[in-house]
Homo-oligomer: A and B are copies of this chain.
Amino acid sequence: MKIQLGPSDILFPIPSALIVSGSFEKPNIITIAWIGIMGSLPPVVGISLKKSRYSLDSIRNAKEFTVNIPSADKFKEVDYCGIVSGRKRDKFIDINFTPLRSAKIDAPIIKECPFNMECVVIKEVELGEWVLFLGEIVETYVDEDKINISNKNKIDIAKVNPLVYCATVREYWELGNKLGDGFHAGKEILNKLKRENSSSVDE
């Protein structure tokens, strides 16, 4: 049995990302759960902010921001950056985070976040009281010690230990176990169907 909950912005699991805007000298952090990859060629990320947010004007004017994915042990710092406005506080100082110079834009990345992106705004879409910024991802970073050198230099998700958020339900979680690999796990079903069917099953 399914229960109808009405129109709602519930979604999980999603990132609780730290967005940095402004300059290296005067950066600001906000916490954003309204985020997602929106294109691959070129790589584009979408972030959506309420119009009342302090960061709106600096992203709109500078047309750039960084996305910083925190590890699970930083959930209190992440939540703090969602509660407190940059109008009143320097959140980098409050939570002891360190801005690092970006390679291609002015807004800095956050040292304490293991994965980071530099983004240049290519489009802005008004959605009621929210503004969606579509940012081309011009650079990404991962902490050196989160790379698995014995596995083709792949990012080691267990070491990154990314924070998970469940929106509107308002809960922070951490990851448990890896289940399988994308573009691979489904081949078991595909192969079973190929064996069972006389007709061919193509990918």
Chain A interface residues toward B at CB < 8 A? 1-16, 33-46, 48, 50, 69, 72, 75-85, 88-89, 94-95, 100, 103, 109, 111, 115-116, 123, 125, 127-130, 132, 134, 136-145, 147, 154-155, 157, 160, 162-167, 169-190, 193, 201-203
- Give CA–CA (A169, B157) in the complex, Å: 8
Pick from B43, B88, B103, B128: contact of A4, CB under 8 Å = B103
- Give CA–CA (A97, B176) in the complex, Å: 26
Given the known interface contacts A9-B37, A130-B44, the answer about A175 and B164 at a Cβ–Cβ threshold of 8 Å is yes
Chain B contacts for A95, CB-based, 8 A: 189
Chain B contacts for A11, CB-based, 8 A: 15, 35-37, 45, 69
In the complex, the answer to whether B84 meets A203 with C-beta atoms within 8 Å is: yes
Chain B contacts for A145, CB-based, 8 A: 1
Given the known interface contacts A88-B202, A164-B164, the answer about A38 and B34 at a Cβ–Cβ threshold of 8 Å is yes
In the complex, the answer to whether B39 meets A128 with C-beta atoms within 8 Å is: yes
- Give CA–CA (A163, B182) in the complex, Å: 12
In the complex, the answer to whether A125 meets B125 with C-beta atoms within 8 Å is: yes
- Give CA–CA (A182, B185) in the complex, Å: 33
Chain B contacts for A155, CB-based, 8 A: 10, 166, 169
